[in-house]
Amino acid sequence: MALRHTYFSAAGFNPLPYIDRWLHPYRLTTTVTLRGRTVRIHWTDRALDAVANRTAPLYVEMQLYFSCVVKKRVLFYETLPASDFIVAGPRLHVRARTVESDICSPEDFAAGYPARRELSSAGAMRMVPRTLWLDYQGGQWVGEMAVGDP
């Protein structure tokens, strides 16, 4: 059977780009160096469009939060909260922080993640995320990170 008589022909509908986008939404990639380590940043087309439509930079903080449990958090800021962000692309700045909780109480932990201090020991400085995934869904920024290799 000739290719021109199938769904994959030039005149017909080709579903492969749609399937690829569905299976691999985080296909756009860049890398930055934080604390001497390479961090891969992946984002979707939606996130790329949302960043491109911004007039001010988006600041993304990857945070390892030590409390009763260890939590990985990705925080988004509209204005510059600190000066130690790295430029990851046009209008996209990132940083990584390792912080310690002020208290180990489930109520306080759930209410707002109170941080006592940023950890600056040699071990804490080696704790750098390896991968960051960014998306923009329903008017909200969504992010995930991985500390080890995925």
**Own/partner long-range contacts of 25-33 (Cβ < 8 Å, ≥24 apart):** 25/135, 26/133, 26/135, 30/88, 30/89, 32/86, 32/87, 32/88, 32/94, 33/86
Report the candidate in 57, 130, 63 with the shortest Cα–Cα distance to residue 99: 63
Residue 114 has pLDDT above 70, yes or no: no
Give the mean model confidence (pLDDT) for residues 54-75: 87
pLDDT per position as a tens digit, 78-112: 888 878 899 998 899 999 988 887 777 666 665 66
Q: Residue 115, exposed/middle/buried by CB under 10 A (0-12, 13-18, 19+)? A: middle
- The overall average pLDDT reported for the chain is 79
CB-CB neighbours of 146 under 10 Å: 15
pLDDT per position as a tens digit, 12-29: 666 766 676 666 677 778
Q: In this predicted structure, what is the pLDDT of residue 100?
A: 81
pLDDT band of 58, cuts 50, 70, 90: very high
Distance CA 27, CA 73 (A): 22
Report the candidate in 43, 146, 45, 58 with the shortest Cα–Cα distance to residue 94: 58
Q: In this predicted structure, what is the pLDDT of residue 1?
A: 45
Q: In this predicted structure, what is the pLDDT of residue 59?
A: 95
Residue 2 has pLDDT above 60, yes or no: no
Cα Rg of the chain, angstroms = 20
